[in-house]
A and B are shown apart, each in its own frame.
Chain A
Amino acid sequence: MASPALEVTGLACRRGGRPVFAGLSFALESGGLLALTGRNGSGKTTLLRALALLVPAEAGAIHWQGEDVRSDADRWRGQIAWLGHLDGLKGDFTVRENIDVANRLRGVAGDTDAALAAFDLAPLASRPVRTLSAGQRRRTALARVAAAQAPFWLLDEPLNALDAPSQKMLLAALEAHLASGGLAVAATHATIKVRGATTLELAA
């Protein structure tokens, strides 16, 4: 039997000397979305950061296509498109420049135009990000994720600051990503209604 695309076994993390979660196991197939829910402070962000290897795990393993991700961390980072709770945008750059720079930093050509269109950012493309509203910035950050053409999306509260039409754009982009065989893990308070979504509730 082929191993699942992403398999997490017995993951444990500690923050500031306090255990956040332990013995966490789940698997995710291509085209699957895992929605992380749980109270504030239950460790959703920590789990996302542990999956990206930004935070060292105390115990457990993460396997990508059957291989331990720590054996080739640079390759693993190349698979990830990241949306943190901060947008990671430069206020002095325009929307398009922000996405282009992020793509160059990842060493991929990226599809900036398609991502701009998917989040209705084409009219804002040449505006400096510092002049945008919080929701528009969030959309720019999401477009950056979509443009990276990475198979694995890690999203921390992707619906934050988004109005109803923007939330629809995000769901459409997520569905397109999953339909093309991508995976996503999203920490969220709202429900994300897309096909193939499973939920993991973290206990506080």
Chain B
Amino acid sequence: MSGFGTLVARDLALVLRRPGDVTVVLAFFIVATTLFPLGIGPEANLLARIAAGILWCAALFAAMLSLERLFAADYEDGALDLLLLSPWPLELAALGKCAAHWIVTGLPLAVLAPVLGVAFGLEGRSLLALAATLLVGTPTLSLVGGLAASLTLGARKSGALLALLALPLCVPTLIFGTGAIETIATGQGFGVHIAILAALALLALATLPWAIAAALRQAGE
């Protein structure tokens, strides 16, 4: 088994030992999205129109919330040195950490979002589009957030700094994610949006592991 597989398995096992960390993130997602109907009022048309934006933004914030500990835990207990000293490429380790993060955050968010979408009055193809865009879009969030998490290692108030770094970089993903659901309202397909989201994810996949590895080496000095 490569360093990648080992690290994904290790991080998933650690999450299973402490499921609270993930539950909190998903609970935040649910609570944050249900606050909007309460604040805006029960106007069904309005809610259905803004549902995609709210769910996508809440998913973005929920992902940020969970990213702070992505590398910080390894940094604080010395395990980062062991990663830096493993004979596998550090880029694979960085990718493994982000993959594990996506499995425990991005994937559940994509599953949970359509359920909450029903409460906003979204229907049929819109719900499908919501799940599909989150499924294809959240890997980008994990990778971009992973870069921000590795750059802010050792910084004070790293959580706020992380969000400040990562959120602007997530804007294209957010635009095409919510755009897909709007096109359905006008009776068009959302294939193009999925393709662009996939392109963004592939671009992140092809570049960010190297950037994260460089930031981790810097943090190890």
B128 at the interface (CB under 8 A from A): no
- In whole Å, how far is B8's beta carbon from the nearest beta carbon of chain A? 12
A interface residues, tally (CB under 8 Å): 28
- In whole Å, how far is B19's beta carbon from the nearest beta carbon of chain A? 11
Q: Which of B49-57, B77-85, B130-138, B162-170 contacts A (4 or more CB under 8 A)?
A: B77-85
Chain A 76-94, CB within 8 Å of chain B: the 1/0 string?
A: 0110101011111111110
| Chain B residue, CB-CB nearest to A80 | B85
B179 at the interface (CB under 8 A from A): no
Q: Which of A59-67, A99-107, A186-194 contacts B (4 or more CB under 8 A)?
A: A99-107
Q: Which of A55, A82, A91 is within 8 Å of B77, CB to CB?
A: A91
A121 at the interface (CB under 8 A from B): no
Cα separation A65 to B125 with both chains bound (whole Å): 65
What's the interface size class on B, roughly? Answer: 20 to 34
Say whether, besides A54-B221, A92-B14, A104 and B1 are in contact (CB < 8 Å): yes
Would B7 and A105 count as touching, CB distance under 8 A? yes
- In whole Å, how far is B73's beta carbon from the nearest beta carbon of chain A? 8
A34 at the interface (CB under 8 A from B): no
Residues in A whose Cβ lies below 8 Å from that of B7: 105
Cα separation A54 to B82 with both chains bound (whole Å): 10
Chain A 17-44, CB within 8 Å of chain B: the 1/0 string?
A: 0000000000000000000000000000
Q: Which of A75, A77, A86, A87 is within 8 Å of B85, CB to CB?
A: A77
B156 at the interface (CB under 8 A from A): no
- Interface set of A (CB-CB < 8 Å, partner B): 49, 52, 54-56, 74-75, 77-78, 80, 82, 84-93, 97, 101-102, 104-107
13 contacts between A and B (CB under 8 A): A54-B85, A74-B87, A74-B88, A75-B87, A77-B86, A88-B77, A88-B78, A88-B81, A92-B18, A93-B17, A102-B82, A105-B3, A105-B7
